[in-house]
Amino acid sequence: MIIDAHHHLWTADYQWLTALDLFGPQRLMAGSDWPVCELVATYDEAWTALHACLGELSPDERTAVLADTAIRTYALEVGS
């Protein structure tokens, strides 16, 4: 999200709310374009922005974005 935006106008809110509205948390997946994102923000700033967006979600919705969608999409075996 960060690198695609106009650097001087970038905020996570607009892109996040649009994606959340269009797809819902069960179809969103956290990711990073590191190290490319460091052209406009540090890695910590990028993840801080993501976690700020996730703060409005329920615990189950946060888990969906941070883990469950990737597990389901890539058919990952997780557990024991």
One DSSP character per residue, 8-28 reads TT--HHHHHHHHHHHH-GGG-
CA separation for the pair 57, 59 (Å, rounded): 6
Tell me which H or E stretch contains 80. Answer: none
Whether 1 is covered by a domain: the verdict is no
**Count of positions (residues) in the chain:** 80
Which pLDDT does position 15 carry in this prediction?
A: 81
In a domain, 69, yes or no: yes
Domain extent, residue 50, equals 12-73
* Residue 6 belongs to some domain of the structure: no
Q: Is residue 80 part of a domain?
A: no
Taking the whole predicted model, whether its pTM rises above 0.85 is answered as: no
What pLDDT is attached to residue 39? 85
Total domain count for the chain? 1
Quote the CA–CA distance of 65 and 40 in Å, as a whole number.
23
**Region for residue 79 given its phi and psi (left: phi exceeds 0; alpha: psi -120 to 50; beta: otherwise):** left
Q: What pLDDT, in 10s, does the model give residues 27-39?
A: 999 988 888 888 8
Residue 23, in any domain of the structure: yes
